[in-house]
Structure formats: C-alpha cells, structure tokens
Amino acid sequence: MGEAQLVYFLVFLGFLLAMVAVGVIVSRSVKSGEDFLMGGRGLTTPLLIGTTLATLVGTGSSMGAVGYGFSNGWAGALYGIGGSVGMFLLLLLFADVRKYNFMTFSEELSFYYGANKLVKGLTSIILYVACIGWLGAHIIGGSLYLSWITGIDPVLSKVIVALGFGLYTLIGGYLAVVYTDVVQGVILFVGFILLTVLSIVAIGGFSEVSANVTPEMGSFLGLQQVGIIPAISLAVVIAVGVLATPSYRHRIYSSKNALTVKKGFLITGILFALFSLFPAIVGMSASILNPGMDSEYAFPYLATEVFPLWIGAVVLIAGLSATMSSGSSDFIAAVTILLRDVFELFTGRLPEKEKMVLYSRVSLVLTLLFALFFTLFTNNIITYISNFISTVMAGLFVAALLGKFWSRANWQGGIASLIGGSVTSFIILSSESMTAFWGNPILPAIMVALAANIIVSLVTPAQAISKEKALRILEEERTRLDEGTTVIPDQKKVQ
C-alpha cells in the first residue's frame, strides 16, 4: 500500500469510527423494538430530508450515473431526474398512508387487498430477497471503490464496507441509520459539488464540455445518444424503484405525520433534481480527460489521479457515503420485513414485543451475512439489480397503485400484476432486440401488470373484506410487537 493509499484508508477508518460513534450515542434512546426498527415514528422534516436524500444518492445514482455520463453524456442526469419524479409521485400518491401506522410495504399491500395473507406472505418474501440484493449491490459498489482507491483486496474490501454500516446499524438501529444518513448526505452533496467544480476546472472550463464531447452526448439529456425510448425507460425504472422500494416506504411509516412526509419529500425531490446534473458533468469531464478508460472507473480515476490528495480523500468519503447510506437503509428495511412479515409466515406467530430489540439485532447479523455471502461470488450484481427492478418492482407498483385507488381491485388481481410484470420482464430480457429497443423492460412490464390486474379483478369476485376490517386485522397483529399501534374503534372509518 502506497503513501496515498494509506492516507485514503486511514481517512476511511476515521469516517467509519465517526459513524459508529453516532450509533453509540443514538443507541441510548432505543428502549423498544419500535424505537429500534421505526425510530419511535417521530422523524422531523430535516431528519426526513437528510435520510431520504442520502438514500436516493446511492451506488447507481452516484458512481453508476458518473459512468453513464462518461459513455452517454447528459443522459447521466436521467438517474436523478427519474429519482426526483419518483419522489414527487410518492408524496402525491402515498404520503397519506402514514396515518395507518404500517411497518412494512408488504403490510401496506396486504391492507389494499383485504389483509390477504397470501399477498402479504408472497410480497414479504419478494421484498426481503430484494433488500438483500440491493444491500449486496451497495456492498459491491462501495468495495470496488474502496479497493480501487486503497489497493485493498476486493474480498476484504467487501467485508470492511459491510461491517462498516452493519456495525453502527446494529448498535443504534433505525435512528443510527437516520442520523448517519444526515451526516453522509451533507458530505456527499458537498463532495459532489466540489467534484463537479474541480472537474470543470480540470478540463479548462464548462464550455469545454460541449466542445469536446460528441454532438449526440451533448444533446438534451443525451437523447440522441441513447434514444428516446431507452431514455424514458431509464428514468421510469428509477422512478418506479423509488415508488416500490421498501426503504422509501419505511421513511413514510417512521415520520412524525403525513404533513412531515409531504414537506420532506417535496424538498428532497427538488434537491435530487439539482443533484442529477452533477454526475453527468463529472462523467463527461472524465471522458475528456481520459477517453480510453472503462466508464466504471471514471469516479475513482478523478479522485486518485487528477486531483490532489486531500481532495481525493473528500471524494472518497462522498462516494462511500453514497453507497453506505443507501446500504444501511435497505439493511434496516429488510430486517423490519423479516420480523414483521416473514417470521409470521413461517412460524404462524409474531416475535415477542419484549425481545424485539434482541431479535432485531440477531436478524441484522443474519441479513448482513446473507448479503455478504452472495457478493463473494460476483461483482456483477449491480447489473442484476437494475433488471430486478423491472422484473419485480413493476408489479409491486401496479398492485399498490390499483389497490389504493381502484375499489374493484382484489387479491387475485394483485397477484396477477406481480406475475404479469415479472413474466413480461423476463421475455424482454431474453431478447437482445427487444432489450435494445426498450432499454430495459419497465414500460412493457407496467403495461402488462396493469392489464393483468384489471382483467383478473373483473373476472373474479369482488373483495369481500372492507378497508376498515382489513385495517383492524393488521392493527391487531401489529399490537403484538409494535408499542406505537392502537386498535381503532369499530365506528372509525378509513378515509
């Protein structure tokens, strides 16, 4: 390990120790399972903005978007644009579900379909596996960067990154995730602004961007480079990821109230839309400075070979903040799904309320080991996850949308949307020509999922259980492990 690499590694260790210290401080306020998994359901607007923004700026929207900007110019901004649109739609369509005190997305989906156990059981397994996959993607993204910039063995880098955010989450639970997200969000936002400015300076000014990239890369949002339909598909797949990913739903359920959710998501969406330009500019700058390198190395190349050591250290922390903040969010969402829904599916009961903190920490360790184990066999999981969003998230999004807003939707239609979206995605991915045309399967997957839900719901019996009764069933379950839930009186109606 060279002198510069040693400095980078020591900076990283110092950063990790600081995050662990935050976890230790926060852990003093953890008194119950609800505190550990839901943060006491009291997130304020500033905390919500910080944690949601840090989660949005993950492996794909930071390093992935830089690499995409390296190859496709302004199309690198599509990651941020899709994410901000997803955030705006999430606050418009689903912010009000905060009043129901759900703990998991699978519980919310079950509510829309008469507290159906098949819907809850199936989606809980899908979402738990998905969270492990996303967690693995963030571990790989952070480890590739750490390995490149410090020279550490790739396998050891995966272990270090996993233990890093695993440790402070294990100590402090969800509030540790929130507070470290806020710190990391500030670091990554400031770090990317600094990186963008210095990248422009390194190439000789902003005018050099348009002068040195191809006309296609320099076109509006790179549409001439990637094509209109693939560009729309990329933005939509990112938006759907926000709308159907458990970690963003977790932000809704754990916030103080619905108004807090709406204000927080609105400001977060605006900030993320502004952020979307940074990775595209950085990527194009890297392509001008070193057009022959692989796009995936654009981000670490700038940190280690273009800028001074201290700037490289700041960029290192910004990049790792992006991956670790998103990883820890998927981490805690996975454990909540495991204990609230998957545990009940396989045991027929819920964990004891008094032992929820212990169960949560044991589950965190097991979940982290699962994710780390899978990452040891591949470095290509990020590509898999981008396809996984189209394969699974399209059906989940449609099931939630129709379940909430169409009174005729039933559980058979909800299952049909999951199957229809997934089958369509597999068909598109199996054909090179269709993949080239669509970019990714998200658009046809959504259309088929919508059609499947509507048709199957119409040809099968209407849902017999009312929303009021479904909510009461779920509340009675939740009171056995969530101290913040009270059962509503029979006469209270679901609005």
Q: Per-residue pLDDT tens for 66-81?
A: 888 999 999 999 999 9
| Host H or E run for residue 434 | helix 432-438
pTM: 0.88
d(CA 248, CA 58): 13
- Residue 331 has a pLDDT of 84
pLDDT reading at 471 higher than 90: yes
State the Cα angle at 193 between 14 and 54, rounded to 5°.
Answer: 60
Residue range 140-169: mean pLDDT, rounded: 83
- Residue 309 has a pLDDT of 77
The amino acid sitting at 23 is G
Structure confidence by residue, pLDDT tens digits, 225-252: 999 999 999 999 889 989 998 989 999 9
The residue with greater pLDDT, 99 or 487, is: 99
- 133 touches 385 (CB < 8 A): yes
Name which of 253-267, 289-303, 434-448 the model is least confident about.
289-303
| Host H or E run for residue 218 | none
Q: Is 43 helix (H, G, I), strand (E, B) or coil?
A: strand
pLDDT reading at 358 higher than 90: no
Instruction: Of 353, 332, 400, 414, give the one whose Cα is nearest residue 132.
Output: 332
- Residue 59 has a pLDDT of 63
**Range list of H helices, 99-153:** 105-112, 117-150
**DSSP string for 375-403:** HTT-S-HHHHHHHHIIIIIHHHHHHHHHH
pLDDT reading at 483 higher than 70: no
d(CA 306, CA 159): 28
pLDDT reading at 210 higher than 90: no
- 16 touches 324 (CB < 8 A): no
- 148 touches 314 (CB < 8 A): no
Confidence tier at 486 by pLDDT (50, 70, 90): very low
**DSSP string for 232-260:** HHHHHHHHHHHHH-HHHHHHHHHBS-HHH
Which residues make Cβ contacts (< 8 Å) with residue 146, sequence separation at least 6?
12, 152, 157, 160, 161, 320
d(CA 225, CA 216): 5
Tokens 């963030």 belong to 138
d(CA 64, CA 295): 9
Name which of 47-51, 193-197, 389-393 the model is least confident about.
389-393
First-to-last CA distance in the chain? 61
Confidence tier at 493 by pLDDT (50, 70, 90): very low
